[in-house]
Structure 1
Amino acid sequence: MASIFTKIINREIPGHIVAETDEYIAILDIMPVALGHVLVIPKKEVDYIFDLDDATYQGLQAFAKKVATALKKAMPCKRIGVAVIGLEVPHTHIHLVPMNTMDDISFTKPKLKPSQEKLVEIAEKIKSQL
C-alpha cells in the first residue's frame, strides 16, 4: 500500500510542495513542531533511510541542504534542525525544522495546527528563496 507521501508525490492527495525534482520532493508538515517545518522525501518509497542505495541517500542529503538553505532565508532562525525519526510513516523522510532554541525541535510537545492559508503563505516564502 502506498504511503501518504507517495500519494502526495502522485498527486492523489494535496500537499504543500516547496521543492521538487525527478527524484525528491519537499513538503510542509501540516502539523509542524515549528512554523516552516519541512519534510524532505525521496520519491522512491523505502521505509528506512539507511536502506536507500548510496546514490539516492547522497542525493537526498544534497536536496535537503538546498531546501534548508532556502528555508533559513524564508523563516529567519538561528539554525535549521535536522531529524530522521522514521517511525510515523514507513517512507524515508528528513525533518527540517527552523529553530532558535532546542525546544523548537521537540517532537514530544503538542504539534501546531496552522491554517491552510498560513501553510500556503509559508510554502510560497520558501519557494521564493530557491
Structure 2
Amino acid sequence: MASIFSKIIDGEIPGQLLWTDAVCGVLLDIEPLTPGHALVVPRAEIDHWLDLPGETLAHLMDVAARVGRAQQEVFAAARVGMIIQGFEVPHAHLHVFPANSASDFELSRRSSRTPEQLAQDADALRAALRTQSDGAHVPGEA
C-alpha cells in the first residue's frame, strides 16, 4: 500500500506540493516546526534513509538545498535546518525548515497552520523556486 507521502506526490490526496520530479517530491508539512517547513520525499518507498541508493540521497540533498534557499528568501530566516528522523511515517524523508534559533529544531514545538496559511506559504515558496531555477519541476502556474 502506498504511503501518505506517495499519495500526496501522485495527486491521490491533497497536499501543498512545491516540487516534483522523477526521483522525489517536496510537500509542506501540515504540522510545521516553522512556517514553510517542507518534506523532501523520494518516490521510492524506502523506510530508512540509510537504505537509499547514493544517487537518490544526493538528489534529495540537492533538492533540499534548492528548497532551503527558497525558504531563506521567503521567510527571511537566519538559517535553514534539516532533520532526518523518520519515526512518524515509514517512508524516508528530509525535514527542511526556516530556522532562527536552536529552539526551532525542537520537535515538540510543532504547530498547526490553517489550509489558507499553508497555501500562502506554498505559493510564496513555489514563486521563489521558479525564480531560482527554470521552474520545470515546480507545480502550478509559471
Q: TM-score, structure 1 length as denominator?
A: 0.95
Instruction: Name the Cα RMSD after superposition.
Output: 0.9
**What is the CA-CA distance between 1:76 and the residue it aligns to?**
0.9
- Residue aligned with 2:40, SS: strand
Amino acid at match of 1:121: Q
The one-character-per-residue Cα deviations of 1:79-112 (angstroms, maximum 9, x if unpaired) are 0001000111011100011111111121022x21
| Mapped contact 2:46–2:92 kept (Cα < 8 A) | yes
Q: Percent identity?
A: 36
Give the count of matched residue pairs: 129
* Normalised TM-score (structure 2): 0.87
CA-to-partner distance for each residue in 1:36-92, whole Å, 9 max, x for gaps?
111011111111001011111111111111111111111111000010001110111
Give the equivalent residue in structure 2 for 1:118.
117
Residue pair 1:34, 1:105 contacting (<8 A) in 2 also: no
Moved over 3 A (4+): none
Query: Residues 9 and 20 of structure 2 are in contact (CA less than 8 Å); yes or no, is this contact kept in structure 1?
Result: no
Question: Which consecutive residues of structure 1, in runs of 5 or more, have no partner in the other structure?
Answer: none
SS of 2:95's partner is strand
